[in-house]
Structure 1
Amino acid sequence: MRENKNKSDINAEIQRSGFMNFFSFPADSFVKLVTFSPNEYIIEESLLPSHLFFLTSGRAKLYTTLANGKIALIDFFRAPCFVGEMELVGHTQDICSVQAIEPCVCLALPILQCREMLLTDPVFLRKICLYLGGKNARNIRSLTKNQAYTLENRLAGFILLSTATDIYKEKHSHAADYLGVSYRHLLYVMAQFIEKGFLKKENRIYRIADKQALLELAHVVDPDLFF
């Protein structure tokens, strides 16, 4: 995590993102402007976050380690969104990892200084309730889509969500678990994507060769998906 202390940059990001619309107290007096590199942790598993983050640009993924040692992908985040809001409101068990997929810019409020103000701010609490309700509805829609659409459509969206700079390198086991399919079925569809020229295999990674084709498949599931 790198902090930018330039006041002009901080104010510009606050204005651009509409950050102050979430608060009735002077949150801009406490906020920091921070950047995370690809693969860097925004929140580390089992560690209470020191900040409430508002992701203003970039994408990240949420995952956890199961009791048997397997890694389970849970969700993907894209700006604008909060990161660490569950821990702020008291959900401190089973803290999951949030890892940047691409460069992520965040406005960060230190929880030690701002916790009481945040939890007694009616504007913030209303906004966060609406945000959590929207996230829950989105998760329900995702579960429904997993049952209603083919793996080709869902895998195309997954590849686009988890890819930075057109390089896909997610482990097949993680992808198969997230999409609710067998490892063999996933490999079969990946091979089809290579045969059709959507992907190009390069050693242990895949390079997106035809993003438009993947977008067309993904848009069947989510017409609002864009990259």
Structure 2
Amino acid sequence: MQKIDDSKLKHVLMAECDYASLFGSNIAKHAQLMKFSPQEYIVKNQVKPDYLFYLVRGKAKLYDFLANGKDTLVDFFTPPCFVGEMELMDTKSEPFSVQVIDDCYCLALPVAKYKQQLLADPVFLRNVCLYLAHKNARNIKTASQNQGFTLSQRLSAFILLTSHDGRYHEKHTQVAEYLGVSYRHLLYVIAEFVKAGYLQKDQRGYRIKNEAGLQNLAWEVNLSNEWHEKASDA
């Protein structure tokens, strides 16, 4: 994590997401700008975050670490969105790991200093409730897509979402669980993608060779997501 002392960039990012409108006070001016690099953790498993983050650029993924030692891919974060709101609202909430995919920029408010002010702010609480409702609806949408679209369509959308610098290298076991398919079925479709020239396998994972082809496969899934987001915002 790196604190970025660039007031111009901070104000540009705040304006892009209308950050100040999330609060009923002028608390937004106290936010710090933080940068996280790929593979870094914005929040670590079972470690209470020191900040309430608001992701304004980049992509990250949410993991749950199980008692048997396995880690399960749960969800994704794309801007703009809160990170750490559950831990702020519920002190008993056990934090999940949030790991960076692309360079992430977050506006961050120190929890210890501003917690009471945030919890007494009706505008902020309303926006958190709306965010949580939209996130729950998105999770339901993901579950329905596992039944409504082919694995090729869903996997292509997943690859485009999780790729970084034109490369895809997620763990097959986690992806199979997230997409609700067998490990064998997932490997078969990935092999078909390689055969069709969408991906090229190497020692570090897979390089995307035909992004347009993947986008063509994924367009119905992405269109469904865009429609759902517009309906949620209406």
Q: Please tell me whether the aligned partners of residues 87 and 94 of structure 2 are also in contact (alpha carbons under 8 angstroms).
A: no
- Residue 108 of structure 2: aligned partner: 108
Q: Deviation string for 1:13-52 (max 9, x for gaps)?
A: 2222210010011123321001000111000000000001
C-alpha change, 1:161 and 1:183, in structure 2 (3 Å) is: same
Number of corresponding residues: 226
SS at match of 1:222: helix
Shift, 1:144, TM fit: 0.6
Name the CA distance, whole Å, in 1 between partners of 2:78 and 2:160: 12
Q: TM-score, normalised to structure 2's length?
A: 0.92
SS at match of 2:223: coil
Shift, 1:224, TM fit: 6.3
Q: Please tell me whether the aligned partners of residues 48 and 92 of structure 1 are also in contact (alpha carbons under 8 angstroms).
A: no
Greater helix content: 2
Q: Deviation string for 1:53-101 (max 9, x for gaps)?
A: 0101100000011111111000011111111111111053331100110
Name the CA distance, whole Å, in 2 between partners of 1:86 and 1:148: 30
Q: Please tell me whether the aligned partners of residues 219 and 225 of structure 1 are also in contact (alpha carbons under 8 angstroms).
A: no
- Residue 210 of structure 1: aligned partner: 210
- Residue 161 of structure 2: aligned partner: 161
C-alpha change, 1:2 and 1:202, in structure 2 (3 Å) is: same
Shift, 1:219, TM fit: 1.6
Name the CA distance, whole Å, in 1 between partners of 2:3 and 2:225: 30
C-alpha change, 1:38 and 1:225, in structure 2 (3 Å) is: farther
Shift, 1:12, TM fit: 2.6
Q: Please tell me whether the aligned partners of residues 86 and 93 of structure 2 are also in contact (alpha carbons under 8 angstroms).
A: no
Q: Please tell me whether the aligned partners of residues 25 and 117 of structure 1 are also in contact (alpha carbons under 8 angstroms).
A: no
Q: 5+ residue gaps in structure 2? A: 227-234
Q: 5+ residue gaps in structure 1? A: none
What does 1:46-85 align with in structure 2 at a 5 Å threshold? Answer: 46-85=46-85
- Residue 186 of structure 1: aligned partner: 186
What's the % identity of the aligned pairs?
46
